[in-house]
Structure 1
Amino acid sequence: GEPMTQINRRTILGAMASAAAPVKIAAAEVATSSTLDDRLAAAKGEIIACLTERYGVAPEDVGSERGVFVFVPYPPESVEYDRPGFYKVEGKRPDGSAWCTTLWLERVDYKTVPGFYYRAESRWKGRVERTIRLKPDKIRIIRRHDDYPNA
């Protein structure tokens, strides 16, 4: 037999096949389709669905004829939010005009679906004026505002 350390074409192909197995099973119902294109599209669709489920954000699909490249973008807001607190936030109203204010933000995970929203409170002189739900993709967190005077 061959020594264990030798990596040849057969071991690489075997490893690739086993890595691809979960996708094959998931796309099994369409694997019978006539063209390779259909099978590729189905497999890619399954990978995208899995990544969306895991990260709660739709992956970008950069396709070419010679291969498939799927990556999940980081949601723009996750870098600035690290714990409940006051944050300077901007967003757009339905009419397209921009707003910018400081809100108390608390991240809340959805119970039934992947993803989260922010429970946001506007406060004035220590009193909560109102509480709203903000979707992370609809706002941009500019920075933490720990020394917010109206807290």
Structure 2
Amino acid sequence: MSVAEAPLSPPLQERPARLREKQRAGAELCFVNHAGGAAPVARFIQATQALGITMGFVPCVPVIVDAGSAALLRGFTSLALPVGYLDAILAAPDVCEAGIEAAVDLAERMLAIPGVVGVDLSGGPTAGAEADFARAEAEIASRLRARLRRDGTRP
């Protein structure tokens, strides 16, 4: 069974204990909502592990490939992105390429956090651009896999 947690939703100090109760109820995997980057996710996971939580974690990685996907992501409840993440992508000469690289970089940092067992490529396409968005997600996965194999951090 999987559950979700939003580490930056009040009351912040109660989030780890809340997840412990979900684990006691049978949760085995936690999707970590956008929390502002790898460092806040790592702090949240460390706090939960200090309480005896043993489940795996799957943090969200925002995927932005155009203005429409950025607008959709902005509508997410309790969205917290790394500082400058969205602006840097949207200001790039090739927004799609910048978004793919930003997602690969952030996903690699997330996967280096102890307890993280995968990432959730989060977001959605501009209306009518579903196939392009799916290709971008596939490219993110391909680049990430190649980078992790090259670094020897994952199979």
Assess same fold via TM > 0.5. Answer: no
Higher helix proportion, which one? Answer: 2
Larger Rg over CA atoms: 1
Higher strand proportion, which one? Answer: 1
Name the TM-score, length of structure 2 as normaliser.
0.24
